[in-house]
C-alpha cells in the first residue's frame, strides 16, 4: 500500500543509552507521577508528594552512585555523557534538591499552591540542571538550560498572593530569555565556525582535526564565544549582568531561592567548564580576557553591594554573585586543578549557601519576618541550635577555616596561582576580606544583640531540622576531612580530560 519504498532506518538507542540518563529519567518520571498525584489525590493527603519527591531523589542518588562506576561517555548518539564529571554534579544537584524539599515542606503548608505542582517543577528544574551537566552538545545544553529556567520562572512567580513575587518572576523571565537569546546566537556562530554542535567534535575541530587551519582565529568563533559568555554570565548572575538577582531572590519563595542560588550556578558552571575549559580549550586566548574582566568585576562589585544590604535575602544574593566570581577564578585557571576546584566548590557551596537560606525560610514559616537582618536579634536565645548552625554557614561562606568554604576557596586560589595569574588571587583574597564584614555582622546581630523580652520561640519542623543538620554536617565535614571528596572531584575532572583528549 505504501507509495514510498520503505528503507529501514535503524534507531540505535539501547538500554545503556537510557541508563546513562537514569537519574534524569527517574526524576522526569517522578514529575509525571507528581502531576497525576496532584490531579487525582485529594488535597488533604497531598503530603504524599513530599515523600514521593524524597523517595525519587534518593533513588536518583542511588542511581548516581551506581553510574559513578558505570558511566557511558557517549550515550544517545553522543548527545549525552554520564562521565564522572556529570555524575558528580548530578550528586550535588540531587543533594541540594533534597535539602530544598526538606525545607519546602513547612513552607508549602502556609502557601497557596498545590504541592504536586510545586515539587514537579522543582524536580523538573533539577532534571534540567542534571542534563546541563550531562549535556554533550550545545543543543542539550540549551534545552537543559531552558528547562531549568522555565521551571524556576514559574516557581519564582508562584506565590500568587504577592505581586512582588510575580513581578520578580516575570522580570527574571524577561532578562533570562534575553540572555538565552545571546547564548544561542553565540552557539549558532560557534556551530558555523566548527560545523558541529557536539562538544567533543568542536573540541577536536579546534585542535585541528577535520577543520580548516586557523579555525581558532575564525571571527565567527570569536563573536560566538563573546555572545556565549554574555549569555552564561547572565545565568550565573555575574557582574554586569547581575541586576536581576537580588529582586528575584527576594521575591521568590525562600526554599526556591536557596535551591536556585546553588544549583543554577552549579549547572551553568558544569556546562561552563565543559565548554570553555575543554571544548573551547584551544580558543583559550579568546575567552580568557572576557572572563577575566567579568570575574574581577563580579568579585569586587558583588562584595561591595553585599555590604550595603540590610535584607538577608538580598545580602545573600550579592554574596552569591561574589561567590560566582571566585568560582570564575577557578575556571580561569583553565587547568585540571582549576576544574577540580570548581567541582569541589559547588559541593561546599551547596551545603553552606542553602544552609544560610534555611534561617530565612524557617523564620518565615514561623510567621516571623525572616529577611530583615535586624529581626535576627536575640535569635541565640530563641533557638541556639539554629543560630549556631547559621553561624557555621556564614563563617564557611566567608571562607574562615576550618569549614568547607575555606577549603573550596583555597583550591580555587591555588589553581589560579599555579596557572600564573596571581593578580586574580590577590583580588579574590582582598574581596573575601570585605565579605567577612557583612557575614560577621549577621552573626553579631544574631548572637550578641539581645532580642525583645517576650519574643516567641522559633520552632522548626522535623524535616527542616534534618535539613539544617545535614547542611551543617556537610559544611563542617567537608572542611575537616576534604580529602575523600577532593579525590572524587579529581576523578571527575580526569573523566573530562579523557573524553576530550586533553
Partner 1 sequence: MRDAIDIIAESLIKSVVAIGFLFASFGYLTYAERKILGRMQSRYGPNRVGPFGLLQPLADGLKLLLKEQVTPREVKTFVYLAAPAISIFVALMAFAIVPVGPPFFLFGKERIMAIANVNIGLLYLVAILSLGVYGIVLGSWSSANRYSLLGGLRSSAQMISYELSLGLALIAVVVLAGTLSPMGIVAAQNQTGMSWFFLLQPIGFLLFAIGGFAETNRAPFDLAEAEQELVAGYHTEYAGMRFALYFAAEYINMVTISALVTTLFLGGWVGIGNGIFFNITSAPWAQLIGVFWFLFKSAAFLFLYIWIRATLPRLRYDQLMWFGWKILLPVAVLNLVVTALYVSLI
Partner 2 sequence: MIQAYVPLLILALVAGGFAASNILITFVVGPYRPTREKLSPYESGMTEIVPPRQRFPIKFYVIAMLFLLFDIEAVSFYPWSILLRSLHFAGFIEMLIFVAILLVGFIYVWKKGALDWE
Partner 3 sequence: MTPVESVVFWVASALAIAGGLGVVSSRGAIYSALSLILTLSQLAVLFLLLNAQFIAAAQILIYAGAVMVLFLFVITLLGVQEYEFMGRHLPGQRAFSMIFAALLLLSVVYFVGQTPHKLAAVHGNFNAQLASGNVAAFGKQLFTTFVFPFEATTLLLIVAMIGAVSLGRRQRPNAEGSLLEQRRDTLLPLAPQTTTDRADDGIPRAATAGAEARREE
CB under 5 to 8 A by kind: which of partner 2, partner 3, partner 1, none does 77 bind? partner 3
Instruction: Tell the burial category of 109 from Cβ atoms under 10 Å away from its Cβ (0-12, 13-18, 19+).
Output: exposed
Backbone angles phi, psi at 201, to 5 degrees: -65, -40
User: What is the full DSSP assignment across 178-230?
Assistant: HHHHHHHHHHHHHHHHHS--BHHHHHHHHTTSSS-TTGGG-HHHHHHHHHHHH
Shortest Cβ 140–partner 3 spacing (Å): 6
Is 86 within 8 Å of 502 (Cβ atoms)? Answer: no
With binding defined as CB under 8 A, does residue 2 bind partner 2? yes
As a whole number of Å, the CA-based R_g of the chain is 22
Is 332 within 8 Å of 419 (Cβ atoms)? Answer: yes
**Grid cell listed for 63:** 542511581
With binding defined as CB under 8 A, does residue 158 bind partner 3? yes
Is 277 within 8 Å of 334 (Cβ atoms)? Answer: yes
Q: Which of 219, 289, 367, 457 binds partner 3 (CB under 8 A)?
A: 219
CB neighbour burial string for 399-419, b if at least 16 within 10 angstroms, e if fewer: bbeebbbbbbbebbbbbbeeb
With binding defined as CB under 8 A, does residue 81 bind partner 3? no
With binding defined as CB under 8 A, does residue 15 bind partner 2? no
CB under 5 to 8 A by kind: which of partner 2, partner 3, partner 1, none does 48 bind? none
Shortest Cβ 76–partner 2 spacing (Å): 12
CB under 5 to 8 A by kind: which of partner 2, partner 3, partner 1, none does 463 bind? none
In sign, the C-alpha dihedral spanning 236, 258, 35, 62 is: positive
Shortest Cβ 39–partner 1 spacing (Å): 14
The span from the CA of 502 to the CA of 500, in Å, is 5
Q: Which of 131, 206, 248, 268 binds partner 3 (CB under 8 A)?
A: 131
With binding defined as CB under 8 A, does residue 79 bind partner 3? yes
CB under 5 to 8 A by kind: which of partner 3, partner 2, partner 1, none does 303 bind? none
Other CB atoms within a 10 A radius of the CB of residue 256 amount to 29
Q: Which of 77, 420, 422, 462 binds partner 3 (CB under 8 A)?
A: 77
The span from the CA of 500 to the CA of 252, in Å, is 39
SS3 170: helix
- Contact partners, residue 303, CB within 8 Å, separation at least 6: 318, 319, 322, 431, 432, 434, 435, 438
The nearer residue to partner 1, 5 or 453, going by C-beta atoms, is 5
The span from the CA of 269 to the CA of 263, in Å, is 9
With binding defined as CB under 8 A, does residue 16 bind partner 3? no
Residue pointed to by grid coordinates 530583615:
372
- Binding to partner 1 (CB under 8 A): which residues in 375-434? none
With binding defined as CB under 8 A, does residue 342 bind partner 3? no
- Binding to partner 1 (CB under 8 A): which residues in 1-30? 1-4, 6
Shortest Cβ 403–partner 3 spacing (Å): 36
Candidate segments 3-11, 291-299, 314-322, 447-455, binder of partner 3 by CB under 8 A = 3-11
The nearer residue to partner 3, 39 or 453, going by C-beta atoms, is 39
Question: Which residue ranges make up the site for partner 1 (CB under 8 A)?
Answer: 1-4, 6
Question: Which residue ranges make up the site for partner 3 (CB under 8 A)?
Answer: 9-13, 21, 28, 31-32, 35, 42-43, 76-77, 79-80, 109-114, 117, 120-121, 124, 127, 131, 139-140, 143-144, 146-147, 150-151, 153-154, 157-158, 160-161, 163, 167, 170-171, 189, 192-196, 205, 210-212, 215, 218-220, 222-223
Question: Which residue ranges make up the site for partner 2 (CB under 8 A)?
Answer: 2, 4, 6-11, 13, 32, 35-36, 38-40
Amino acid at each position: 500500500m505504501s507509495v514510498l519504498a520503505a528503507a529501514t532506518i535503524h534507531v540505535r538507542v539501547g538500554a545503556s543509552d537510557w541508563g546513562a540518563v537514569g537519574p534524569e529519567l527517574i526524576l522526569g518520571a517522578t514529575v509525571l507521577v507528581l502531576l497525576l498525584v496532584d490531579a487525582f489525590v485529594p488535597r488533604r493527603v497531598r503530603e504524599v508528594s513530599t515523600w514521593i519527591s524524597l523517595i525519587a531523589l534518593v533513588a536518583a542518588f542511588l542511581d548516581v552512585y551506581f553510574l559513578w562506576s558505570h558511566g557511558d561517555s557517549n550515550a544517545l548518539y553522543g548527545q549525552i555523557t554520564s562521565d564522572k564529571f556529570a555524575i558528580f554534579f548530578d550528586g550535588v544537584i540531587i543533594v541540594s534538591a533534597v535539602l530544598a524539599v526538606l525545607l519546602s515542606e513547612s513552607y508549602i503548608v502556609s502557601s497557596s499552591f498545590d504541592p504536586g505542582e510545586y515539587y514537579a517543577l522543582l524536580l523538573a528544574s533539577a532534571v534540567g540542571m542534571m542534563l546541563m551537566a550531562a549535556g554533550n552538545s550545545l543543543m542539550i545544553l540549551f534545552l537543559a538550560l531552558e528547562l531549568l529556567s522555565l521551571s524556576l520562572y514559574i516557581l519564582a512567580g508562584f506565590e500568587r498572593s504577592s505581586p512582588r513575587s510575580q513581578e520578580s518572576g516575570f522580570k527574571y523571565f524577561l532578562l533570562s530569555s534575553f540572555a538565552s537569546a545571546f547564548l544561542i546566537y553565540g552557539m549558532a556562530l560557534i556551530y558555523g565556525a566548527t560545523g558541529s554542535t557536539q562538544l567533543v567534535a568542536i573540541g577536536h575541530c579546534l585542535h585541528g582535526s577535520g577543520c580548516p587551519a586557523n579555525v581558532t582565529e575564525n571571527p565567527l568563533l570569536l563573536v560566538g564565544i563573546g555572545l556565549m559568555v554574555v549569555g552564561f554570565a547572565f545565568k550565573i548572575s555575574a557582574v554586569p549582568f547581575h541586576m536581576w538577582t537580588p529582586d528575584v531572590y527576594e521575591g521568590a519563595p525562600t526554599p526556591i531561592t536557596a535551591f536556585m542560588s546553588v544549583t543554577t550556578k552549579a549547572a551553568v558552571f558544569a556546562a561552563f567548564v565543559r565548554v570553555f575549559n575543554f571544548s573551547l580549550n584551544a580558543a583559550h586566548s579568546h575567552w580568557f580576557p572576557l572572563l577575566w574582566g567579568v570575574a574581577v568585576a563580579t568579585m569586587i562589585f558583588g562584595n561591595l553591594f553585599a555590604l550595603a544590604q540590610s535584607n538577608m535575602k538580598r545580602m545573600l544574593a550579592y554574596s552569591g554573585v561574589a561567590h560566582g566570581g571566585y568560582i570564575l577564578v577557578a575556571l580561569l585557571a583553565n587547568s585540571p586543578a582549576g576544574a577540580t576546584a570548581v567541582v569541589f566548590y559547588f559541593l561546599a557551596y551547596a551545603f553552606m549557601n542553602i544552609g544560610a537560606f534555611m534561617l530565612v525560610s524557617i523564620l518565615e514559616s514561623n510567621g516571623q519576618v525572616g529577611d530583615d537582618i535586624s529581626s535576627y536579634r536575640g535569635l541565640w536565645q530563641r533557638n541556639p541550635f539554629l543560630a549556631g548552625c547559621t553561624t557555621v554557614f556564614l563563617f564557611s561562606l566567608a571562607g574562615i577555616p576550618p569549614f568547607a568554604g575555606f577549603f573550596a576557596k583555597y583550591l580555587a586560589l591555588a589553581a589560579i596561582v599555579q596557572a600564573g595569574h596571581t593578580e586574580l588571587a590577590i583580588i579574590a583574597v582582598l574581596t573575601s576580606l570585605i565579605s567577612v564584614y557583612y557575614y560577621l555582622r549577621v552573626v553579631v546581630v544574631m548572637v550578641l544583640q539581645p532580642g525583645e523580652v517576650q519574643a516567641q520561640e522559633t520552632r522548626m519542623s522535623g524535616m527542616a531540622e534534618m535539613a539544617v543538620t545535614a547542611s551543617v554536617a556537610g559544611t563542617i565535614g567537608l572542611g575537616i576531612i576534604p580529602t575523600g571528596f577532593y579525590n572524587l572531584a579529581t576523578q571527575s575532572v580526569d573523566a573530562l580530560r579523557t573524553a576530550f583528549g586533553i
